Structure 1
Amino acid sequence: MSLPKPTHAMRAVVTGASSGIGVALAEGLARRGYSLILVARREDRLRALADRLGDHYGIETEIRAIDLSDRGERAKLCAELAEREIAVLCNNAGFATYGELATSDPARERQQVELNTVAVHDLTLAVLPSMVERGAGAILITGSTAGNQPGPNNATYAASKAFANTLAESLHSELAGTGVQCTLLAPGPVRTEYAEVAQAPNLDRMVPGPLWVSAEQAAEQAISGMAAGRRRVVPGVFAKVQTLGGQYTPRALVGPILRTVYRKVN
């Protein structure tokens, strides 16, 4: 299986395109000839990226500076995408919080659920029917190794990524034979603005440098995985170990361990 061949009319959509893996996904798709719709909150960053990719690769770039955790703004984008010819959807936007749920900011936690789960679901529902009708298309959902096990002191993020992981892998099997594919990107530590947004200043120091992967590595493996029709892409040795540990370590053991680890993040 391969990605749909780029055409003048079709677009590849990348959410969370103002930084990190989103920027790298946009670059990788532009390099392959896809015109883009870039989605994120920070218009200045989107504009700079769109101009750079358009000039360098000769593609058309559109930006949508919206907050995908806002249901009204998200609904407008979904309505637009449902009417467009979307070849690739990269559901990449998301963020994490750390700390005890009982003392967290309820509004921030709800925003996280909206962005990490509901927006992923809504955008997928917006583009999937037309992809299946055409018999061509690819969806990438950025989950996480955090979704493979409990995440005490990281509860909302772990739960939201468990949803993303399961949705992606379920759709991969459901879409077999349709010409449409869904791939899960489940990274571990990736050098992005993740820790800064999560207000977790100690996170970068808790994982040794050689165990991190770059956003470019994660994105390139994700796009190659989509092109190969893979169910799941797990970039980096540490992420693969995390995946196996999350799958086979008893929950009664892994929960207390992660609780101790995540208490040191803030």
Structure 2
Amino acid sequence: MTEDSAGDFAFRYGPSALVTGASSGIGRSFARLLAEAGLDLILVARRLDRLEELAAELRCRHGVGVTVHETDLSDPAAVDRLLGKEATTDIGLLVSNAGFGVKGPFEDGDADTLASMLAVNCQAPTRLAHALVPRLRRRGRGGVVFTSSVEGLLGCPYSAAYSATKAYVNALGEALWGELTPAGIDVLTLCPGATDTEAPRLQGIDPATLRHLMDPDDVARGALENLNNGPIYVPSEHYRAQFDTLVTMPRRQALAAMAASLRV
């Protein structure tokens, strides 16, 4: 960002941004870019040591205020506790980025893990937006970013529950874009494809085997640059073209082709 554009960004979306899932990956990239733009930050994740290390870096490098909250968003009460601590903070931007996924045949997934995924991927963004949208309406400006996935654009075999959670996020983001844009509030649902984060490794995937792998900094930067171009943003040209083709195919044909290519 130029100095002028950073100033405009800070006026529209500042003075403070709340970023969940900020300890690594795309969330950490969002935090660094927002600090560079001059926004104070509220960083949320489960790993306090990583949050504190990032906060120290951003305070030193950019001179912004940074508050960290060690929070497990699978707890239904976590959002209320978090926002209760930030009740007087002027939050102009919500980046609801925390999430995780599991791969493999649906019936092989652990039921408790799937329930936790629903809580983090669906309930937490809903609770965060529900609590913060009234604040944004009172301000008359601001923004919401939901980190979703291209897998939310179509039911993905061998990623059934995860793609279902992301389909929910896409629908939530699109609906809120329609509701909030007239009020001066930008809403963007970010749908990355394969990105060089911890997520592939945690799912048992070697990132070296993934083609068209994106850098998390590029993903986050693209989202912020397109924040007023919602409702959906797919940063990868490859995945944008791939899913544009899939969603225009007869549904049965697209799903059968995906299942055949992913079957293990």
CA distance in 1, matches of 2:122, 2:86: 18
Aligned to 2:241: 241
Farther off after superposition, 20-29 or 72-81 = 72-81
Aligned residue in 2 for 1:105:
110
Matched, 1:232 2:232: yes
* In 2: Cα distance, 1:135 partner to 1:229 partner: 18
Superposed CA RMSD in Å reads 2.0
Deviations along 1:7-66, one digit per CA (max 9) or x if unpaired, are: 9x9310111101110011001100000000011111111010000011000000010111
**CA distance in 1: counterparts of 2:25 and 2:125, whole angstroms:** 18
Pick aligned residue for 1:53 from 54, 58, 64: 58
Aligned runs of 1:1-266 on 2, under 5 Å?
A: 3=9, 5=11, 10-81=15-86, 83-198=88-203, 200-202=204-206, 204-205=208-209, 207-208=210-211, 211-226=212-227, 228-264=228-264
Cα distance in 2 for partners of 1:33, 1:186 equals 25
Change (3 A) 1:82 1:247: farther
Unmatched tracts of structure 2, length 5 or more: 1-7
Tell me if the contact between 1:6 and 1:33 (Cα under 8 Å) persists in the aligned partners: no
| 1:254 to partner: Cα distance | 1.9
- Distance in 1 between the 2:42 and 2:52 partners? 11
SS for the counterpart of 1:176 is helix
Distance 1:60 1:192 in 2: 26
For normalisation by structure 1, the TM-score amounts to: 0.90
Aligned residues: 258
Amino acid at match of 2:213: W
TM-score (norm: length of structure 2): 0.91
User: What is the percent sequence identity of the aligned residues?
Assistant: 31
Deviation of the 1:212 alpha carbon: 1.7
Tell me the equivalent position of 2:5: none
CA contact (8 A) 1:188 1:239 kept: yes
- After superposition, the C-alpha distances for 1:103-146 in whole angstroms (9 at most, x for unaligned) are 21000001111111110100011110010111011000011110
| Conserved? CA contact 1:82–1:127, under 8 Å | no
Residues in 2 aligned to 1:125 and 1:105: alpha-carbon distance in whole angstroms? 29
- Does the CA contact (< 8 Å) of 1:20 and 1:192 recur in 2? yes
Structure 1 consecutive aligned stretches of length 4 or more whose deviation exceeds 6 Å: none
Which 5+ residue runs of structure 1 have no aligned equivalent? none
Deviation at 1:152, TM superposition (A): 1.6
Mean Cα deviation higher: 236-245 or 77-86: 77-86
Instruction: Pick closer, same or farther for the CA change 1:6–1:46 going to 2, 3 Å.
Output: farther
Q: More displaced, 20-29 or 236-245?
A: 236-245
Q: Distance in 2 between matches of 1:262 and 1:41?
A: 31
Partners of 2:130 and 2:168 lie apart in 1 by: 15
Q: Relative CO higher for 1 or 2, CA cutoff 8 Å, sep ≥ 6?
A: 1
